[in-house]
Amino acid sequence: MNTIQQIGFMVRPALIAAVLVMTGCASTEGKFSDTTVANMPAFADETLALMGGEDPGLYLNETVLIREYLDGSDPNEKLIDELVGTADRLLVAMTDYSLDLAMVADTVSDPEEQKRRYIENLTKLEQAVTETLQLQDLNLKANIDNAAREEKLLDAMRAGQPIIDALGRHGLLLLGRHDDGVEAVARLVEQGIEEDYAGLYKYGTWLGGHRDSVLLELGELIVQEEQGKNVAREENELIDRLEVIDRLASEIEPHWEIYRSAQRELDHVHISVLDSSNRVRLILLVWVRAHEAMTSGRTKEAEWFTMQDLGAVAYKLGRKLI
């Protein structure tokens, strides 16, 4: 699959619709005690809202001029394709996990069964995180054992938080690799454009410089004419030269516009892709912090899904890599 086909990250609308249907757009009131159990339906609802705003990104049919420079042969293009697919699977795993939380809240009332279902959910998330991010060496399964030993659901969810943290921490590292690859591909495309249009650029620059010189000479002649000198012949010669330059410039103008348009398209794609990456980065930070806040016993979702102090969250996740 071509880089531009996969560039950007997407939470599928169909998946979101399925979640809303299966949770029945349930009210978050009356599901759990504010002091004993996390408000899981609210967490799922807010997760869907967070995911649902993600832009599907840029596709091959939205590019015209730089498409020829993205043939998939460069290793960084292949790396981007791989990392985009990985990030998309992470977002799906996060959504599935949140959906299962809501399903437990809506369909299970027995505390023991709630905890058992949660351990199943956590196990699926751990498997997705471990396999998707290749984290076998971290032995995240140990956190499932810790969660299973807890008597209460909320305590089990707290015990599973390291798995959530690992998802966020290594997801951020993945996005860093993605962005490095994007920068490398952007440089490669820019180099290709400049090489293809090097002759045109050189010729256009020469014409522009020559035109400026002619205009400067004309300005000097006008000053002499105002001083009473007869410079009509020289003026006519310069005007003729200017007309020739303008005619030559008009002949290359279509090619020049293609060159400039290719540069603009590259800039647009480059910025848009990095913006998409930053949106996923924001989703990871907000979601990890929200999960931790939810399991702390705070039941007001407004206290979970906020963008305050995200730098501290990123720092905390980063410290765990040391």
- Are 321 and 169 contacting, i.e. CB atoms less than 8 angstroms apart? yes
Average pLDDT over residues 164-184: 94
Q: Which string of DSSP letters, residue by residue, matches 193-259?
A: HHHHTHHHHHHHHHHHHHHHHHHHHHHHHHHHHHTT---HHHHHHHHHHHHHHHHHHHHHHHHHHHH
Q: Is residue 211 part of a domain?
A: no
Within 13 Å of residue 228, how many CA atoms lie on the same side as its CB? 0
* Residue 55, pLDDT score: 46
Cα–Cα distance between 172 and 174 in angstroms, integer?
A: 5
Residue 15 or 177, more confident: 177
Give residue 291's domain range.
Answer: 3-195+258-319
pLDDT band at 71 (very low <50, low <70, confident <90, very high): confident
139 domain residue, yes or no? yes
What's this model's pTM, rounded to 2 decimal places?
A: 0.76
| pLDDT, greater one: 187 or 23 | 187
Q: Average the pLDDT over 9-36 and give the result.
A: 40
Residue 190 tokens read as 């820019």
Tell me: pLDDT of 19 over 80: no
Give kind and range of the element (H or E) at residue 89. Answer: helix 75-107
pLDDT digits (tens, 9 = 90+) for 264-278: 999 999 988 898 889
The CA distance from 38 to 311, in Å, is 25
What's the mean per-residue pLDDT of the chain? 82
Both structure tokens of 1: 């699959």
Look up residue 140 and give its DSSP letter. Answer: T
How far apart CA 64 and CA 95 sit, in angstroms, is 34
On whether residue 128 sits in a domain, the answer given is yes
In a domain, 9, yes or no: yes
Outline where 152-197 has alpha helix (H): 153-159, 161-196
Tell me how far the alpha carbon of residue 4 is from its chain's centroid: 13
Question: Is 209 inside any structural domain?
Answer: no
More confident residue, 67 or 14: 67
Any domain includes 268: yes
Domain count, the chain: 1
* Contact indicator for 200, 252 with CB cutoff of 8 Å: yes
Cα 242 from Cα 221, distance rounded (Å): 14
pLDDT value of position 312? 53
Q: For residue range 81-140, list pLDDT tens digits in order.
A: 889 889 999 999 999 999 999 999 889 899 999 999 999 999 999 999 999 999 998 899
- Percent of the chain whose predicted confidence (pLDDT) is above 70: 78
Residue 187 lies in a domain: yes
* DSSP string for residues in 16-45: HHHHHHHHTT--STTSS-TTTS--HHHHHH
List own/partner pairs for 67-75 with CB under 8 A and 24 or more apart. 67/4, 69/188, 69/189, 69/192, 69/193, 70/2, 70/3, 70/4, 70/185, 70/189, 71/2, 72/2, 72/3, 74/184, 74/185, 74/188
- Does the structure show a pLDDT above 70 at 74? yes
| 222 part of a folded domain | no
Distance between CA 165 and CA 51 in Å, rounded? Answer: 18
User: What b/e string do you get for 192-212 counting C-beta neighbours within 10 Å, with b at 16 or more?
Assistant: bbeeebeeeeeebeebeebbe
